Amino acid sequence: MSSTSASFIQKRFKYDVFLSFRGEDTRNTFVDHLYHALHQKGITTYKDDERIEKGETIGDQLVRSIEESRFHIIVFSKNYASSSWCLDELIKIMECQKTKDQTAYPVFYDVEPTEVRNQSGAVGEAFAKHVEKEGAGRWRDALKEAAGLAGWELKNTIDGHEAKFIQTIIEEISPKLHFINLSVDENLVGMHARVKNVVSSLEIGPDDVCMIGIKGMGGGGKTTLARAVFDYISIQFEGKSFVENVREGSKGSGLKELQKQVLQDVLSDKSIDVKSVYDGKNMMKKMMSNRKVLVILDDVDDIDQLKALAGEPTWFKPRSRIIITTRDEQVLIAHRVNFIHDINLLSHEEAICLFSRYAFGREIPNQGYEELSGKVVHYAHGLPLTIKVLGSFLCGRIERDWEDAIERLKTIPLKETLEKLELSYNGLEDDQKEIFLEVACILKGEMKGK
C-alpha cells in the first residue's frame, strides 16, 4: 500500500478483540472456547482473567484495554446484566462504538435480542437489582443500543452448535481484521491496489479450489505482492504455507523437502517426514483434502514443481486458494490455473516515491535532485528491486556520481540492469563492491555468497 495515501492509514490497536462477558455464566465454557479459537487464528484477544496485571486496578486496566481494542465482542448471557461491572464495561464499549475505528458485536448466547433490548425475561430478572441505582438509566440505554447492533444469536445459527457457532464468528471477524498495515513495511508503495486486484481474482468460484498465477519479470515485485496477499488473507484459512524460491529449492532432491514444508506448515506438525516425491504426492492428497488452505508457491519455473506441490484441485478442501508466482506464463497455462495476474510495475510517481525513500529518506527528491531522480527512475523501468538498490547506492553521493550512473544506465540493456545492476558496480573499489552487493542482497532478503 502506498503510504502517501492518508485514507489507508488506520489507528493502531494493541488488541484485535476485547471480550466482554459474565464470568460465572461463560468464563469456563463458551467464552473460553471462543478465546482459544481466536488465539489459534492469531487474533490478539483481551480476556480479563488472562491479562490482569499485578499493581493495577482492574477497572483502570479494563477501560484502557477497551480503548485499545479494534473490535468488542459482547457475550450476553442470562446473568450479564446482574453485574454492574459488566454494565459499566458495556457503557465504555458503546462510547468506543461511536468512533469510526472501533466496532462492537453482540453475541446472544442464551438470551434473545428482545430480552436485552427491553430488559425482559432472564435479562430483566438479572437487571432488577439495579433498577433503583443511580446509573440504571445509562445502563438501560447501553443495553438497548447494543441489542440493536448486528451480531450473532446462538439458537438461530448452525442449529445452536457451539463449535460451528464459534467458527462462524471467526470467519466473519477475520477478514475485517487483516488489512495491510503500514507499520509492517513503511517502504511499500502502491501495494494496496495491487493486493485488492489479486484478492478479487481469488473470488472466482468462491466455493471451489482456486489456483491463480502472478507472472512477470524478475525483480518486478511478484514475491513482495504474494507475501502481502498472504499476510492479508491467511487468517481466513485452516492451514497456510508460503514456499519461497521453489525454482532453487527444488533442485536435486529438494522437491520432497518442499512437500514436507507444505505438509508441516498446513498441518502444524513438524514431525511429518516425506521419503520421496511420489510418497509426498500421496500424503498431500490424503492429509490436506479436509482442510481449507492457502498455499503460496513462489518463483516456480517447471510444471513438475506444480505437479508435486499442487497437483490437482482435488488435493485440497473446497475454498482453498493456491497462488503461484513465476516468470514463465506457459507453466501456468500448462497447469490450467483459474486466472493469470500480470504484475504491474511501478508507475512513474510510485517509482519516484520509492526511490526517494531510499535515496533521501523522504517521499520526494531533495531540492535540486528532481530532474536527476526522474532520469534514474526512467531507466529503472519501474522495477522495485532495481529502484531500491539504485536509491541505496546513490544515497549521499555527489551530483557527478548521479550523472555517471545515468550515463551507464543508458547503455545497459534491461536484462543486465535487472540481473547484475552493473551501472556503477564495475567502477567501484573492492570494498565498495562488497558494500554494494551487501545492500542488494539485504534488500532482496538473501545472503551474499562468500
**Taking the domains of the chain in order of start, what are their residue ranges?**
11-176, 183-342, 348-444
Same fold flag, 11-176 and 183-342: yes
For residues 400, 402, 407, 408, the Cα torsion angle rounded to the nearest 10 degrees is: 120
Q: What is the C-alpha separation between 374 and 136, in angstroms, rounded?
A: 66
**Residue pair 56/189 in contact by the 8 Å Cβ criterion:** no
Q: Which architecture does CATH list for 183-342?
A: 3-Layer(aba) Sandwich (3.40)
Would you give per-residue pLDDT tens digits along the chain (450 residues)?
333 333 333 456 889 999 999 988 988 899 999 999 988 877 889 987 654 444 444 577 888 999 999 999 999 999 999 998 899 999 999 999 887 789 999 999 989 999 999 999 999 999 999 988 888 999 999 999 999 999 999 877 766 688 888 988 988 887 777 554 433 445 568 787 888 889 888 887 767 899 999 998 877 889 989 998 998 888 778 889 999 999 999 988 799 999 999 999 999 899 999 999 999 999 999 999 888 999 999 999 999 999 999 999 999 999 999 999 999 999 999 999 999 999 888 889 999 999 998 899 888 999 989 999 999 888 887 888 788 888 888 888 888 888 887 887 777 655 544 444 444 444 455 555 555 555 555 544 554 444
**pTM of this prediction exceeds 0.75:** no
Supply the pLDDT for residue 184: 40
Specify whether 89 is catalytic: yes
Name 253's Cβ contacts closer than 8 Å, sequence gap at least 6: none
Containing H/E element for 297? Answer: strand 293-300
- With 0-12 / 13-18 / 19 or more C-beta atoms within 10 angstroms meaning exposed / middle / buried, residue 263 is buried
Containing H/E element for 42? Answer: none
Residues shown for the chain: 450
**Residue pair 216/343 in contact by the 8 Å Cβ criterion:** yes
Q: What is the C-alpha separation between 388 and 400, in angstroms, rounded?
A: 20
Task: Report CA 182 to chain centroid distance, whole Å.
Answer: 11
Q: What is the C-alpha separation between 180 and 300, in angstroms, rounded?
A: 25
Please list the helix, strand and coil fractions of the chain in percent, rounded to the nearest 5, in that order. Answer: 55, 10, 35
Containing H/E element for 142? Answer: helix 136-147
In this structure, what C-alpha cell is assigned to residue 155? Answer: 439458537
The values of phi and psi at residue 276, to 5°, are -155, 165
Determine the 3-state secondary structure of 292 from DSSP.
coil
Containing H/E element for 386? Answer: helix 384-394
The amino acid at 122: A
Tens of pLDDT along 125-171?
Answer: 999 999 888 889 999 999 999 999 999 998 777 666 888 889 889 88
Pick the catalytic residue: 89, 112, 238, 350?
Answer: 89
Q: What is the C-alpha separation between 24 and 11, in angstroms, rounded?
A: 34
Determine the 3-state secondary structure of 221 from DSSP.
coil
CATH number of 11-176: 3.40.50.10140
Name 289's Cβ contacts closer than 8 Å, sequence gap at least 6: 314, 315, 316, 317
Q: What is the C-alpha separation between 298 and 277, in angstroms, rounded?
A: 19
Distances (CA, A) of 193 to 5, 346, 355: 11, 12, 19
